[in-house]
Amino acid sequence: MIDSNISDIKWMKRAIFLASLGKGTTSPNPMVGAVILDKDGNLISEGFHYKSGMPHAEAMAFKNLKKDASGGSIYVNLEPCCHQGKTPPCVDKIISFGIKKVYVSIEDPDKRVSGKGIKLLKDAGIKVFQGLCERESFELNKAFIHRNINNSAYGVLKWAMSMDGRVGLKNGKSKWITNKDSRSLVHSHRAGFDAIVIGGNTLRKDNPLLTSRGLSNPEPLRVVFTKTLDFPEKSNLWNCNLAKTLVVYDASTANKKYLKRIPECVDIEAIPSDNPKLISDLLAKKGCNNVLWECGPKLATSAIKTGCIQELMTFIAPKILGGVGNMNPLADFEFTDMNEVFNLNCPEIGFIGDDIFVKSTFY
Ligand code: AOF
Ligand code: ZN
């Protein structure tokens, strides 16, 4: 049932805004916000979920109550939970505080909930209105939803290229293609991710920091995938004071004698092949909802082929690098017909100075 009253939309948008304050800290949990009105429609409390293990949005809102909520309404961007997890079920709180109307934007895909929370509310005689602002709510929690449905992390692949589609010169030089503001934007984007993945070649060639430069706390997990384990003794990724690092190696090809070069503070996991899907699945198990892939052409191409990538973040600079041998963002997919190529959707385009930013999706 959808109630599209203007003020209901306003309160749901407020709940979505509150939810977004948890960006970068809630994983593996979703971002959730809650707004409570009294029986006369006055705002009496609000709250949001900050971190797994801490109170859910509804619990925060009930904790912050300024007035009696009985006979009132609550607006939440995700179906209230009905399970005992790290925290008690929100449905019980909603019922015990005497709320009469619950506005839910979208269902919780977590199998412990998925529709059961809404049913319990209805069984308790509460009116439930579902579907307000669903598009915005889906967009906000698309990574949480993706991980719950696919048991794999939502992947975003990023690259910066010239007007002629090059990401570096033949000799590997690529600093810098895009302008300073685009590069700062990448740092702030990183803050919204649970992990950043690169391949061994990128580590050896660029020795990146892979941090948000302090914009998020904790910093995203830095993940480097290697087929050889042949890493240098010194690397920015080995500095665990900046952020955590995880090395994932292909056990079928790597030489384990190199393991001793990796400092003890770095986590290490083996996967049985070089299939990047195993990395996405492993990171989902570790509680990552979303992953930013900042890798070179080979790993990026196989990440796309194996379904690890749901979204592209492309920066285009007004430069021409030219040259047949200069670097492309991707390797060959060996398409032989235009019917085989990927057709993307393009929900966002913007300018950063004279660079262009394009967000596109595979769905
Ligand atoms: C809500 N409100 O604010 C959130 C919900 O381990 P727990 O107890 O934190 O439970 C995590 C699950 O609870 C998570 O997977 C999702 O289904 C739901 N998250 N539910 O009613 C909230 N964060
Ligand atoms: Zn809950």
Q: Which of 97, 120, 141 is the last residue of a domain?
A: 141
Q: Is residue 102 predicted with pLDDT exceeding 60? A: yes
Q: Is residue 172 predicted with pLDDT exceeding 90? A: no
User: Quick one: which ligand is closest to 61's CA?
Assistant: 1
Same domain, 182 and 305: yes
| Position 326 confidence tier, pLDDT thresholds 50, 70, 90 | confident
CATH number at residue 21: 3.40.140.10
Span from the CA of 80 to the centroid of ligand 1 (angstroms): 8
Annotated catalytic residue, options 46, 58, 136, 219? 58
The per-residue pLDDT for range 197-241, each reduced to its tens digit, is 999 999 999 999 999 998 888 999 999 999 999 999 999 999 999
Residue nearest to atom 21 of ligand 1 (CA): 80
Same domain, 118 and 164: no
Bridge pairing between strands 290-293 and 245-250:
unpaired
The stretch 138-153 carries a mean pLDDT of 98
Same domain, 107 and 184: no
Same domain, 156 and 123: no
Q: Which of 97, 119, 141 is the last residue of a domain?
A: 141
pTM to 2 decimal places: 0.95
Same domain, 106 and 29: yes
Span from the CA of 288 to the centroid of ligand 1 (angstroms): 15
Q: Is 248 contained in some domain?
A: yes
| Whether residue 58 lies in the annotated active site | yes
Which of 60, 105, 108, 114 to mutate to test ligand 1, by most ligand atoms within 8 A of the CB atom? Answer: 108
Rounded CA separation 145/243 (Å): 26
The per-residue pLDDT for range 341-353, each reduced to its tens digit, is 999 999 999 999 9
User: What pLDDT was estimated at residue 4?
Assistant: 59
Span from the CA of 194 to the centroid of ligand 2 (angstroms): 21
User: Quick one: which ligand is closest to 52's CA?
Assistant: 1
Same domain, 126 and 223: no
The stretch 336-362 carries a mean pLDDT of 97
Q: Is 1 contained in some domain?
A: no
Rounded CA separation 49/61 (Å): 10
Residue nearest to atom 18 of ligand 1 (CA): 81
Same domain, 86 and 155: no
Rounded CA separation 78/134 (Å): 9
Q: Is residue 159 predicted with pLDDT exceeding 80? A: yes
Same domain, 179 and 134: no
- Nearest in space to 93 (alpha carbons), one of 50, 38, 1, 102: 102
Q: Is 146 contained in some domain?
A: no
The residues lining ligand 1, judged by C-beta closer than 6 Å to any ligand atom, are 29-30, 32, 49, 52, 56-58, 78, 80-81, 85-87, 90, 108, 110, 113
Residue nearest to atom 12 of ligand 1 (CA): 29
Residue nearest to atom 2 of ligand 1 (CA): 56
Q: Is 278 contained in some domain?
A: yes
The structural domain count of the chain equals 2
Q: Is 183 contained in some domain?
A: yes
**Ligand 1 atom at minimum distance from 86 CA:** 8
Number of other CB atoms surrounding residue 335 within 10 Å: 10
**Ligand 1 atom at minimum distance from 48 CA:** 3
Please state, rounded to an integer, the average pLDDT across all residues of the chain: 96
In contact, 77 and 32? CB cutoff 8 Å: yes
The per-residue pLDDT for range 1-51, each reduced to its tens digit, is 444 588 999 999 999 999 999 999 999 999 999 999 999 999 999 999 999
The stretch 227-256 carries a mean pLDDT of 96
**Ligand 1 atom at minimum distance from 90 CA:** 21
User: What pLDDT was estimated at residue 1?
Assistant: 46
Per-residue burial over 19-58, b = 16 or more CB atoms within 10 Å of its CB, e = otherwise: beebebbbbbbbbbbbbbbbbeeeebbbbbbbeeeebbbb
Same domain, 101 and 230: no
Residue 165 exposed, middle or buried by CB count within 10 Å (0-12, 13-18, 19+): middle
Distances (CA, A) of 138 to 32, 34, 328: 12, 16, 33
- Nearest in space to 305 (alpha carbons), one of 265, 332, 336: 332
Which of 23, 29, 58 to mutate to test ligand 1, by most ligand atoms within 8 A of the CB atom? Answer: 29
Question: Residue 309, Cα to own-chain centre: how many angstroms?
Answer: 12
Span from the CA of 82 to the centroid of ligand 2 (angstroms): 7
Span from the CA of 112 to the centroid of ligand 1 (angstroms): 10
Q: Which of 116, 141, 166 is the last residue of a domain?
A: 141
Same domain, 35 and 103: yes
Span from the CA of 92 to the centroid of ligand 1 (angstroms): 13
User: Quick one: which ligand is closest to 50's CA?
Assistant: 1
CATH number at residue 256: 3.40.430.10
| Domain membership of residue 105 as a residue range | 6-141
- Percent of the chain beyond pLDDT 90? 94
**Ligand 1 atom at minimum distance from 88 CA:** 8
Same domain, 169 and 42: no
User: Quick one: which ligand is closest to 148's CA?
Assistant: 1
Same domain, 171 and 87: no
